[in-house]
Amino acid sequence: MPDPTTDAKASRRMLATLFFCTAMPMGMWGVPLANVFAAHGRGHLVPWVLATTSIAAFISPLFVGALADQKHSPVLLLRWLTAATCVALLITCGSLAWGWGDAAVLACAQGLALLATPVWSVTSSIVFSQLHDAKQQFGPLRAWATAGWMAGCWIVSFVLKADASLVAGVTAAGLWLVVMTLTWRLPMIPPGEVVQHRTWRQILGLDALELLKHRDHRVVFITAALYCVPLAAFYPYTSRHLHDLGVQNISAVISLGQTTEILVMLLLAGVLARVRLKWVFLSGIAICVVRYACNALATLPWLLVGTLLHGFAYTLYFITTQIYLEERVDPKWRARAQALLALLMGGVGNLIGYLGGGWWHAACTKNGVTDWPRFWWGETALTAVVCVFSALAYRGRAHQT
């Protein structure tokens, strides 16, 4: 007779492996992206390439989330998405290597974004569906994703020596095939609520907007979108700032932020058991204010301090938000809730953040030299505004009647 404890441990190991392997190619390509494009004479395209993920976030996560909730197993969807992402990433790398025009490169990047953007929300919904206590179990599992992201960065910097090379992208494409093979080891999770005759609103996932009618849900979603505006500056512009300071192995240095991310995730269950959600949310945003203020001091030691604070700034808001949605939203809306979060973060927030950050970086750059203190103080001020909004708008259960 099967041992339930053994089965549970095997399931957790499989979910941890899924998170690890899914995050690895994301870090391997996402972190060095700005330097790779610059090395191929396409540095001017970086804000627009980053914006392709935001444009995709308006389209694919809700559509795929609706499929996962109402039509197909999310495991099957993940299998299709990872295979297609592998092909799209290889074509995008090829467009740079073969010297295609700017429009063609952007078209390839947009196709890649449409396929890759929903992967994370689908993966998260698969993991959540296998948990009995999200508060206790999700943090330690999610830490494996951060470890995978770090491993991808270290491989790029120390093994491949590819911080500005397309080798990083080609290797990441191969790893997407690894993720695809893992889906055959996952149970074929049924959709939450099979709907045979879906309306266009349901097909496109727009019925997820019903979640915004709840005040606290609305504030959490809006804050996530607003917070992503300044947060979008972290990876592309910390990378450039480190380059200007003469740092080698940039991807590995930036991965320092993930060391604290893992620490916070391991401690998150205890924090959530003792501290109101509102203060957990606010502490994450407030730490981001401090983090960008450290970057504004524009020396390598302070930039490293700011990078280390990234784990607190990210985890305390966004991982807590995912847990919040899992606990307070009807399970049949699970994939669509995570998809709506992806849309507002990756679509609304990141689109404004990437394009606005590109404009702000250009405004702070003269004759090829960036005034980094000015750039980071601007991001600091913007983050502080988001913190004040969240403090005033979110009420929580303690204030519900």
When comparing pLDDT for 373 and 233, which is higher?
Answer: 373
d(CA 338, CA 329): 10
Q: What is the pTM of this model?
A: 0.73
Q: ∠ at Cα 326 (56, 25), nearest 5°?
A: 45
User: Out of 17-26, 40-49, 78-87, which region has the weakest mean confidence (pLDDT)?
Assistant: 40-49
| Amino acid residing at 135 | K
Q: Which residues contact 215 (CB under 8 A, 6 or more apart)?
A: 395
* Confidence grade of residue 64 (pLDDT, cut at 50, 70, 90): low
Query: What's the chain's average pLDDT?
Result: 85
Question: Of 133-147, 184-198, 286-300, which has the strongest mean pLDDT?
Answer: 286-300
d(CA 45, CA 32): 14
Phi/psi region, residue 368 (left: phi>0; alpha: psi -120 to 50; beta: rest), is left
* Confidence grade of residue 105 (pLDDT, cut at 50, 70, 90): very high
When comparing pLDDT for 255 and 396, which is higher?
Answer: 255
Residue 400 has pLDDT above 60, yes or no: no
d(CA 179, CA 193): 26
When comparing pLDDT for 20 and 158, which is higher?
Answer: 20
The values of phi and psi at residue 233, to 5°, are -80, -20
pLDDT digits (tens, 9 = 90+) for 325-384: 877 777 767 667 777 787 788 778 888 888 898 899 999 999 889 999 999 999 999 999
pLDDT of res. 401:
39
Is 161 within 8 Å of 34 (Cβ atoms)? no
pLDDT digits (tens, 9 = 90+) for 130-154: 888 777 888 888 889 989 988 998 8
pLDDT of res. 215:
81
